[in-house]
């Protein structure tokens, strides 16, 4: 007698999400993407392409607040978190952070994804841009060394 697989495929995962009151819809900007939303937060899932994976799905767009049909990214600037879309950037409110955290936890539970310790402590950001690190991306010119002779002197 063949055993039933504990790892659902992508379509079974979507059915499980619908059964747990998640809204699942097509997401045209991502090929094969499905927009999964609940609590005002959303993520885009796609079927995993490699044969070694269980086929349950992977994030094409990580969880964020759903604004005008777009999943906004969570940006951490060190002193505050921001909600960033392609059109604007706004400070994140506590209710938005709670919604993203609740959505992510419930999505991981339903899909059987692994939960990480730091994600359990609170909402993790997609991008970290600390202002004191701004400008370090480009290589700096070597500082002048006045004790070294130059031009043959």
1-37: per-residue pLDDT in tens?
A: 455 556 678 888 889 889 988 999 998 888 888 999 9
Paired with 128 in beta bridges are 76
Q: How many domains does the chain have?
A: 1
User: Does residue 1 lie in a domain region?
Assistant: no
H or E, element range at 106: helix 94-111
Please state, for a pLDDT cut of 70, what percent of the chain lies above it: 71
The pTM is what? 0.69
User: Does residue 14 lie in a domain region?
Assistant: yes
Average confidence (pLDDT) over 83-102 = 90
Average confidence (pLDDT) over 77-92 = 88
Per-residue pLDDT reduced to its tens digit, 108-133: 888 877 777 666 666 666 666 666 55
Q: Which of 30, 34, 31, 28 is nearest to 13 (CA)?
A: 34
β strands within 15-107, DSSP E: 23-26, 34-38, 41-46, 58-67, 70-71, 73-76, 81-84, 89-91
Expressed as residue numbers, the domain containing 28 is 10-130
User: Does residue 140 lie in a domain region?
Assistant: no
Neighbour tally for 70: CB within 10 Å: 16
User: Does residue 144 lie in a domain region?
Assistant: no
Q: Which of 65, 61, 68 is nearest to 97 (CA)?
A: 65
Residue 145: the pLDDT is 77
User: Does residue 46 lie in a domain region?
Assistant: yes
Per-residue pLDDT reduced to its tens digit, 31-61: 888 999 998 999 998 887 655 555 567 888 8
User: Does residue 39 lie in a domain region?
Assistant: yes
Strands 41-46 and 127-128: unpaired
User: Does residue 153 lie in a domain region?
Assistant: no
- The arrangement of strands across the sheet holding 58-67 comes to 23-26, 34-38, 41-46, 58-67, 70-71
Residue 109: the pLDDT is 86
């Amino acid at each position: 007698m063949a055993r039933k697989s504990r790892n659902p495929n992508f379509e079974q995962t979507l059915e499980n999400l619908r059964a747990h009151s998640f809204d699942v819809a097509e997401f045209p900007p991502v090929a094969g993407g499905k927009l999964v939303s609940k609590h005002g937060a959303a993520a885009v899932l796609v079927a995993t392409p490699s044969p070694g994976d269980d086929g349950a799905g992977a994030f094409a767009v990580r969880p964020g607040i759903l604004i005008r049909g777009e999943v906004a990214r969570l940006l951490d600037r060190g002193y505050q978190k921001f909600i960033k879309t392609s059109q604007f950037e706004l400070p994140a409110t506590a209710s938005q952070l709670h919604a993203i955290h609740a959505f992510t936890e419930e999505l991981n539970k339903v899909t059987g994804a692994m939960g990480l310790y730091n994600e359990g402590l609170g909402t993790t950001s997609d991008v970290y841009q600390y202002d004191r690190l701004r400008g370090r991306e480009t290589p700096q010119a070597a500082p002048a060394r006045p004790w070294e002779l130059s031009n043959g002197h």
